[in-house]
Structure 1
Amino acid sequence: MYESPVTPAGIRPLAEAAKRADDGRQDRMWREGAVVTVALWSFTLLIYLPIILNRYEGMGMTSVLLDSSTILVSMAFAMGLFALFRAIHSLRRRVQVGIMILAVFAIAIVQSAFDLLFTGFVAHTLEARWLALPDDLLQSYGAAFNYAAVFAVNCALFQLAAGRRRAIRQERELVHLRASAKQAELDALRLKFNPHFLFNTLNAISAMVVTARNAEAEQGIETLSAFLRASIETDPDAVAPLEDQLQLVDHYLQLEEMRFGDRLDVIFDTPDEVGSVIVPSLLIQPLVEAAIRDAVEPSSTPVRIRIAAQRKAGGLELSVSDDAPRAQTRDGVMAVETVRGRLGALFGGAASVVVRSGDRGVETILHVPAAG
């Protein structure tokens, strides 16, 4: 049970928590890790090439090429670092940094040991190299430091590439969220001042007056007034208790019942306990409109529209369904995509939208994570 409203600022941490695992991996792409690794180590080889040439002076290019080929081993070690970089993305930043520092020094030592053995093999002077091992070990300390520096730069480039991708993704999500909110606002304005809807409603009220059903006409005017007032006051960018949305939908359906009469049968299956759950504004209104437009208007027989809500799997499950056998229309698909876009922008993969259509009508099921 939620006792206080949740602001949009309160929803965003939930959205970030729900999406952290997927986004962390998306920001650390294998392709980008490979690109920065190949670029960095190719540059490193270019810098050290004169040293390698001097090491094998008079021995031919075969030894130079074999020694240079160890750069492939360095790249493989670097990609191992990248695999670790991806695997620990969900840990705290300090823990990540500590693990990566230890990994850099460990791989630098392993790389230095490999170079020591490999260069001895390439030079074909294993005995001489063995005698010179103490001096080589002293030199390896410097090599290990150099490797640690390059591997550290490699990790920094991983983080830079991931940060760049993260910034691009967040910018796209922000644009998508703004577009979805703007679309919802436009839909709300269209509904508020839809001449066709207002004309039909006023025409139904007029018919009640002409046939001396004054009490019904008065009730219709009050309902229309309440609906228009609530529609104008609703902010598409805000969040609100579910009961507020259900009240708006109820006003809308009461007005449509005046128009369709017995052709429209409405059922609300919404327990009181879900009324205080916080959800994005105008979440189910587009789905109800689509059901009226696509199921009730074309039908000559009664159509039942059911709006249901229940707590489920740590969140809220909402559904809008009708029993008119049909497939979704283009407008119906657009309504669903508008809702899916808003939920995706706010909650990522933690929210879902499922549509079932066929001989039993169309049912749209929304799963909204708990917020609060």
Structure 2
Amino acid sequence: MFDAAVPLPPPAGAAKTGPRAFGPNVVKLGLAYAATYFVVASLVWGLAGYDPIVTAPGKLIGMTGDAILAIIITLVLWKMRKVRLGYKALVGCGLALALSPVSGFLDWGIHAYFVYPQPVPFDKAVFAQVVIFTTSELFGWSCLYLALQYSDHVREVEQRVAAVRQEALAAQMRALQYQVSPHFLFNTLNSVAGLIEENASVQAHEMLLRLASFLRQTVTLNPEHDIRLADELAMQLNYLGIEKVRFSDRLQVRTEVAAGLDDLLVPPLILQPLVENAVKYGISQMQGPAELVIGVAEEPKGTLRLWVENTVPPSGASQAAGLGIGLENVAHRLQARWPEQCACEATLSAQNRFKVQITLPMSWGPP
């Protein structure tokens, strides 16, 4: 039905690639761990009566094999990066136990290679010692990698929270700017004056009350706190009530809100740019009757879909041209809050209807 979709732009400064299993921090930690292990192993073998210099090549070969096993563990834990820390620790321990016998056989083979052609019998006691030593080595690496992974996750969350606060502050500043917008106040007050001249005091009084209510609601908003969906819709309907007086009977407002969603939490004024865009670039360009629809629906997998749809002139070009900044601001707020879990798009249908819809994770307020 709809075409000309506008995709969701990435937030400012966002990375273009996803997380990597072997980033610079992982490589640095691995090299430091390997160097420490080499020194410790040299000291242990030296205390056992083996020359650290002579045994260095064998230890390097053995460490290479253990490094391959550590890489396998790293890849598995990286794939599980969204799983709880306790489960990942158990998996790391299990992999260390399962892979350490490979190191034991490798150690026996290296020994046999360096003393060839002398036969090297398979010593179960030595094999068990190597397995125990390697298990501690691999599990130690698993713990270090999980600590680094957790540290990176905490840092990412902190950056995301900072981005959300920045976007919320920007949203508040835009709301304050909107409240004192000369254009908005001029149109509203001019409409009130016109109603007074026409002796329509009841309508003028109602319009002033709606204006005062809208300004009071936006002033008291905390941009860092979500609000109930019912309150967000009430603010938009209050704003549209003011605009309906300006457009007389030409503007028809309709809501398509699914039942039972009033207590859902949404970012404050998340619909305001969409509604404002619909009025400014769509409704105001219509010569005859115009309709604006605000819709809310629950999608599968705990997703909430909100949309603003309005009639446009046959070309629809004016609203598409004026969409950029408003939609981009909404998209950036969503991406900063829920990376890769939201969407925002605009579509123009063949029936001269312009629709902007956003999807975001559902979040319920206190009962």
Aligned to 2:120: 129
Aligned to 1:339: 330
Percent identity between the aligned chains?
19
Among 100, 103, 109, the alignment partner of 1:108 is 100
AA in 2 matched with 1:78? A
- TM-score w.r.t. length of structure 2: 0.78
- Superposed displacement of residue 66, structure 1: 6.8
The answer on whether the counterparts of 2:160 and 2:336 sit within 8 Å (CA) in structure 1 is: yes
The answer on whether the counterparts of 1:227 and 1:248 sit within 8 Å (CA) in structure 2 is: yes
- In 2: Cα distance, 1:327 partner to 1:358 partner: 14
| 1:320 maps onto 2:308 in alignment | yes
The answer on whether the counterparts of 1:268 and 1:306 sit within 8 Å (CA) in structure 2 is: yes
- In 2: Cα distance, 1:176 partner to 1:250 partner: 29
The answer on whether the counterparts of 1:78 and 1:151 sit within 8 Å (CA) in structure 2 is: yes
Question: Within 5 A, what are the aligned runs for 1:125-204?
Answer: 125=117, 127-130=118-121, 133-134=122-123, 137-204=124-191
- In 1: Cα distance, 2:210 partner to 2:353 partner: 28
- In 2: Cα distance, 1:306 partner to 1:368 partner: 19
SS at match of 1:146: helix
AA in 1 matched with 2:291? R
- In 1: Cα distance, 2:293 partner to 2:102 partner: 66
- In 1: Cα distance, 2:193 partner to 2:69 partner: 80
| 1:41 maps onto 2:34 in alignment | yes
- In 2: Cα distance, 1:46 partner to 1:235 partner: 56
- Report the RMSD for the aligned CA atoms in angstroms: 3.2
- TM-score w.r.t. length of structure 1: 0.77
SS at match of 1:150: helix
SS at match of 1:69: helix
Aligned to 1:352: 343
Query: For each residue in 1:141-170, what CA deviation from the matched residue of structure 2 results, as whole angstroms up to 9, or x when unmatched?
Result: 443343233323322321232122112201
Question: Within 5 A, what are the aligned runs for 1:1-372?
Answer: 29-31=21-23, 32-45=25-38, 48=41, 54=51, 65=57, 68-125=60-117, 127-130=118-121, 133-134=122-123, 137-261=124-248, 264-300=251-287, 302-313=289-300, 314-324=302-312, 325-326=316-317, 332-357=323-348, 360-372=352-364
- In 2: Cα distance, 1:55 partner to 1:176 partner: 53
Structure 1 pair 235–47 and aligned structure 2 pair: CA distance change class (3 A): closer
SS at match of 2:317: coil
Aligned to 1:16: none
- In 1: Cα distance, 2:263 partner to 2:333 partner: 20
Structure 1 pair 273–43 and aligned structure 2 pair: CA distance change class (3 A): closer
Unaligned stretches of 5+ in structure 1? 1-25, 58-62
Unaligned stretches of 5+ in structure 2? 1-17
Count of residue pairs brought into register by the alignment: 337
- Superposed displacement of residue 65, structure 1: 4.8
